[in-house]
Structure 1
Amino acid sequence: MRFHTRKWVKPEDLNPNATLFGGQLLAWIDEEAALYTIIQLENSKIVTKYISEINFMASAKQGDIVEIGIEVLNFGKSSITLKCEARNKMTRETILTVDKIIMVNLGDDGKPAPHGKTKVEFVKDRLKS
């Protein structure tokens, strides 16, 4: 799994228990999944279709650095299926896992559209051609 994004837990990210609010972490994950999908499918018109069970394993507190990792599980005809892990950057302790996130590629009409991708591509490799 590649960890692409780091977030610094600030006071406004906390719940009444003084730990990271789960909804904030899920928003960060949804944004990361969207950005990852946009880059992979080379299309900014994508939507989140499905997020499986979310497993909170540890908490984070103010000042912690959370990193978010994404891994591709499958390329569908108009979708990409990802898994995700959020962990503490300094301790490597897993904070949360999501087994399956399905993102869907949309056409200009706003409906699911084939993307033609079958494997993970890196932008640096696209620039060589």
Structure 2
Amino acid sequence: MRFHTRKWIKPEDLNANCTLFGGRLLAWITEEAALYSIIQLENPKIVLKYMSEINFISAPAQGDIVEIGIEAVRFGKSSITLKCEARNKMSHETIATVDQLILVNLGADGKPKAHGKTRVEFVKDRLASKDQD
């Protein structure tokens, strides 16, 4: 799993127990999943269709740095299925996991559209193949 995003926990991110508010973490995870999908499917029109149960494992506090890792586990006809782990950057302790996030590729009409992707592609490889054309 690749960890691309880091978030610094600030006072406005805390709940009544002075630990990270779960809703804030879910917003960060959803945003990271959308960005990952946009890059993989090469389309800015992506929506979250499904998120499996979230397993909250530890509670980070103000000042901690959260890393969010995303991994593609399946490519459907118009969807991509991801899994996610959020962890504490300093201790590498897992904060939460999500086994499935399903995001759907949309066409100009706002309806699901086939994306034609079957595997993870890295931008550097796309650029290299364009240079060879």
> Given the two structures, how large is their TM-score scaled by the length of structure 2?
0.96
Alignment of 1:1-129 (within 5 A): 1-129=1-129
* Distance (whole Å) between structure 2 residues aligned to residue 22 and residue 54 of structure 1: 10
DSSP-derived class of the 2:32 partner: helix
State the one-letter code of the partner of 2:126: R
Give aligned pairs, total.
129
1:21-65: CA deviation from partner (whole Å, max 9, x where unpaired): 000000000000000000000000000000001000000100000
Unpaired runs of at least 5, structure 1: none
Percent identity between the aligned chains?
78
DSSP-derived class of the 2:72 partner: strand
What stretches of structure 1 move > 4 A for 4+ residues in a row?
A: none
* Distance (whole Å) between structure 2 residues aligned to residue 50 and residue 66 of structure 1: 23
DSSP-derived class of the 2:33 partner: helix
Deviation at 1:120, TM superposition (A): 0.2
Unpaired runs of at least 5, structure 2: none
Deviation at 1:10, TM superposition (A): 0.4
* Distance (whole Å) between structure 2 residues aligned to residue 85 and residue 111 of structure 1: 29
> Given the two structures, how large is their TM-score scaled by the length of structure 1?
0.99
